[in-house]
Amino acid sequence: MAETSTLTTTHDYPAIDPTSFDLIVSGTGFPESLLAAAAAAAGKSVLHVDPHPFYGSHFASLPLPSLSSFLSSPSYPYPFPSPSSSSSYTAVELRHHLLYSAIETSGSPPEPCRNFVIDLAGPRMLYCADEAVDLLLRSGASHHVEFKSVDSSLIYWEGRLCFVPDSRQAIFKDRTLGLAEKSQMMRFLKLVQNHIASSGGEVVEDGGVRISDEDLQLPFVDFLQKQRLPRKIRAIVLYAIAMADYDQDNANSCNKLVTTKEGIETIALYTSSIGRFTNAVGAFIYPMYGHGELPQAFCRCAAVKGALYVLRMPVIALLIDKEHKQYTGVRLASGQDILSRQLVMAPSYEVPSSFSPCDGTSNLCNHVARGVCITSSSIQRDSSNIMLVFPPKSLHSEQLTTIRALQLSSNVAVCPPGLFVVYLSIPCTDASSGKGYIKAAMDVLFTTHTSNGSECSLATNNGDQERENKPTLIWNCLYVQELTKASSDAICLCPMPDESLEYKNLLESTRKLFTKMYPNEEFLAQTITSENLGDDNGSSD
C-alpha cells in the first residue's frame, strides 16, 4: 500500500510529490475512505492523509489503552508554520471540534489489555445483503476483510430476553410464543414475502397480492395494528427487524415515524440477508478485528488505483486564492502547500464560516450515547455474537428511543478467549438521559463486583436464578458522541458515525457527496468480474 508512516519524530515529515491533486482527503474514516476509493477508481489523482498513525479516524478499531486518549483528544496540536512566500493565496488556520463528551470509565480491564480491540462506533453490524457488502464485493475490498456471523438476535420484553423469531424455522422453534402468536407472525411474514415477490414481478402463490399503495403510506405501526398483531409481535417487527429508532406508538413525540413502505423495505433487506452466505446463520455479519477494517479495505483499493497515502500528516490550514477568495489547496503540518480542486475532511475539522458548506442532510437527533463493556461470560449460553434490542419504554416509561447492544467474542478477534466485549448505544438529546438508559440496560444484562468482592445486580425482575447466570461486568466506558451531518461544496465534510446498527444512511450521504463532486462519474465502479463475485463468501469459519 502506498503509505508513508515510518516517521521517527513528530516533525520528521516526508516531502510529497507531486504537489497538485484532483482530490485531497483528510481523515481515513469510512465515508472518507469510500470517497477516496471511488475518486481513484474514476481516474482522479488522490492524496489521502490522516493525522493519526492508524486508519479509521472516528470509525477506527483501537487497542483498549488508546481508547480514552482518543475520546479525550482525537486530534493533536501542531504548530502553525510560518506563512509561505506565495503571493497568490493566503493560509487560513483550521481548528478541531471535540466530538466526544461525558466520558466515564470504571473497573480494570484484564491484562494484557492490548489484546482488546474496541470499535469507536459500536455497536455496528452489516446485513448480509447490505449495499455495503455489495460495495465490498464489486470494488474488490472484500479481499482485504473477513467476516463472522452474528449468531442470534434477542429482544428485551416484559423483563426477559427473548429470541427474535425472524424466519419460519425460528418461529417454529420459539418457546415464548403461543400457537396463535406463531400463526399471526407466519401470516404477516407471508404477506410481506408475497408483496416483495409481486413487486419484483414474480408470480406469487395462494393468490397473494401486493400491499396497497394506501397502506404503504400509513405509519407502519398502524399497518401492524390493522393486521391485528399482538403487542409483542409488533414490538419485534418494529424494533428488532424493521429497526425503528423511536417510539412508534406516540406519533406526537416520535422524531421519525416509520412508514409501511420503509418498514417493508427493511424487512425485505433482513429476510434476503438470511441464508445469503453459507457460513452466516442469521441476517448479520461482523468484520474480523473490528469495523476499522472496512475503511482500511477501501483505502487499499484506492492505493491500488494510484492514491497516495501519508499517515501522521495533519492538514492545518486552508489555502485561499487571494483574487477569487476560493479554496485552492491545503497546508500540511510539514509546512508544505498542496493544491487540489476538491477537499474532503473528517467531521472534527471546523471550516471557517466564510467557506462553510451550504447543503447537507440534517440529523434527527444530535447525540448518541455509547457504552463499551468487558464481561466474564456470554449473555446467552452457547452463543458468542449476539444482537440485542431494548424497545422504547422497555426499561423506563420515559424511554422514547431504542437501545441496541451487540456482544462479541474472541472468534472475531476483538478480545481474549473466555471474555466478551459488549457495545450499547441509544440516540439522545442530552448526556445525562442517554448514559442513564445505557446504565439501566447494563443493570439488566450484567452483575457487578461490589467493594467487598461480592456480586450484585440492580435489576430485580428476572429472578434469583437468572441473576446468578448473568455475566459479571469487569470494565466499562460510557461516552456521548455528537452527530454531525454530511455537507458538500468545494470543501466537503463527512458525517460522524450515526445511531444506526448498519451503514445505510452513511452510504447514502457519502454517495450524495461523491455525486455532487463528480456528477458524471460512477460511484465505485465494479473492478472485478461477476464470476469472482460468486467466489466471495462474506463470512468465514
Q: Looking at the structure, do residues 257 and 178 belong to the same domain, yes or no? A: yes
* pLDDT score of 88: 86
Q: Does the residue 510 lie in any domain?
A: yes
CA distance 125 to 30: 14
Q: Does the residue 436 lie in any domain?
A: no
Q: Does the residue 31 lie in any domain?
A: yes
Q: Does the residue 13 lie in any domain?
A: yes
Residue 236, exposed/middle/buried by CB under 10 A (0-12, 13-18, 19+)? buried
Q: Looking at the structure, do residues 314 and 346 belong to the same domain, yes or no? A: yes
**What's the pTM?**
0.89
Q: Does the residue 228 lie in any domain?
A: yes
Residue range(s) defining the domain that contains residue 259:
167-273
pLDDT along the chain (541 residues), means of 10: 40 87 97 97 97 95 95 70 68 90 94 94 95 92 93 93 86 83 88 83 58 94 94 94 92 86 94 88 94 97 96 94 90 94 93 58 69 96 92 94 97 96 95 95 86 45 54 97 82 92 93 94 71 43 44
Write the CATH number for 307: 3.50.50.60
Q: Residue 287 belongs to what H/E stretch?
A: strand 284-287
* pLDDT score of 197: 85
* pLDDT score of 156: 97
Q: Looking at the structure, do residues 336 and 204 belong to the same domain, yes or no? A: no
Q: Does the residue 9 lie in any domain?
A: yes
DSSP letter string, 32-81:
HHHHHHHHHHTT--EEEE-SSSSS-GGG-EEEHHHHHHHHH-SS-----P
Write the CATH number for 176: 1.10.405.10
Q: Does the residue 125 lie in any domain?
A: no
- Out of 216, 242, 273, a domain closes at 273
**Number of Cβ atoms within 10 Å of the Cβ of 465:** 7
Categorise residue 290: left if φ over 0, alpha if ψ from -120 to 50, beta otherwise.
left
Is 349 strand, coil or helix?
Answer: strand
Q: Does the residue 414 lie in any domain?
A: no
Q: Looking at the structure, do residues 174 and 267 belong to the same domain, yes or no? A: yes
Burial 283-302 (b: 16+ CB within 10 A, else e): bbbbbbebbbbbbbbbbbbb
Q: Looking at the structure, do residues 54 and 89 belong to the same domain, yes or no? A: yes
- Out of 273, 304, 322, a domain closes at 273
Q: How many domains does the chain have?
A: 2
- Out of 220, 244, 273, a domain closes at 273
Name the residue among 493, 346, 345, 338 with its Cα closest to residue 21.
338
Q: Looking at the structure, do residues 196 and 257 belong to the same domain, yes or no? A: yes
Q: Looking at the structure, do residues 11 and 66 belong to the same domain, yes or no? A: yes
CA distance 45 to 522: 16
Q: Looking at the structure, do residues 213 and 264 belong to the same domain, yes or no? A: yes
Q: Looking at the structure, do residues 245 and 324 belong to the same domain, yes or no? A: no
